Amino acid sequence: FAGYISQVLKNYTDHACDGEYVSLRCPHRTTISIQSSFYGRIVPSHQMCPSRYPHSYATLIKEDVACSVGTSLQKMLDECQDRRSCQFLVNSRLFGTDPCPGTGKYLIVWYKCRPNEYKSKVACEDDKLRLSCKKSMVIAIYSAIFGRTQGGSLECPYQNLGMPMIECQSATALQLMIKRCHGKRSCSIYASTYEFGDPCYPGIQKHLNVIYTCDNTHLLLPVDETQPPALTSTMEPVGVSTEMALLSNILAAYAFIT
């Protein structure tokens, strides 16, 4: 179960060059949840997915390194969302019009493994959130958000006080919820800035949204309590090469600028 939870909490990254297969897979009792996707090229081929054919230096200079396809996320959702595994061959025809013919491209996918059965609870700012499982079952936190999301929360309607609706989230919400509730039969915490800090502008109403599962075991070992980074940060699991980490950071900057 500890291994299962650590896999569920982890953020995964997979990539494939043109002409290669991309393969996403999640453990038993979970399904793929696509977080983000990129198809195109924003780094030179000598850093990522080198061409299969020899290139002269003049050819490399002309290589398009500002090339991206806006349909990659929707394609990944269509192919892999809510499945336990998926695999397909990467090529430009999958994504519609080729934005940079003659330039070799690659696909990078960020995803998580979502439990098939999970519960969701919301507490408005300064209210207490209580989580509990049946006897002989324990809590496993999947995700936690404290702040204000663009869609808001039906349980905590946003009162417009003349301030714009801006999304803001605590960077430590998941880490704190794991410390308080992971492996316990029940727990409680206040959805307050005292607990989570204030990630928003003063006066912005916030809420705590937690997704968790219950499992019938007490043999729960500690999990990695590191806060999974947002989509604007590198999201590769342990073991990914330095080049991949560098590429993820470059993609993060590109996504932010876009």
Whether residue 227 is predicted with pLDDT greater than 70 in this model: the reply is no
Alpha helices in 88-212 (DSSP H): 173-181, 193-196
Domains and CATH numbers, the chain: 2-115 (2.60.120.740), 119-216 (2.60.120.740)
Whether residue 223 is predicted with pLDDT greater than 60 in this model: the reply is no
Containing 55, the helix (H) or strand (E) segment is none
Residue 20 has a pLDDT of: 93
Residue carrying structure tokens 């892999």:
80
Confidence grade of residue 241 (pLDDT, cut at 50, 70, 90): very low
Whether residue 159 is predicted with pLDDT greater than 60 in this model: the reply is yes
Alpha helices in the chain (DSSP H): 2-9, 57-61, 72-80, 173-181, 193-196, 242-257
- Give the separation between CA 99 and CA 72, rounded to whole angstroms: 12
Whether residue 28 is predicted with pLDDT greater than 90 in this model: the reply is no
- Give the separation between CA 168 and CA 148, rounded to whole angstroms: 5
> pLDDT by residue (tens digit) across 67-76?
899 889 999 9
> pLDDT by residue (tens digit) across 52-91?
655 554 455 567 788 899 889 999 999 999 898 999 999 9
Residue 87 has a pLDDT of: 93
Six-digit token pair at 242?
């330095």
Q: Please check whether residue 104 is in contact with residue 49, taking contact to mean a CB–CB distance below 8 angstroms.
A: yes
- Give the separation between CA 135 and CA 218, rounded to whole angstroms: 11
Radius of gyration of the chain (CA): 21
Confidence grade of residue 162 (pLDDT, cut at 50, 70, 90): low
Residue 104 has a pLDDT of: 87
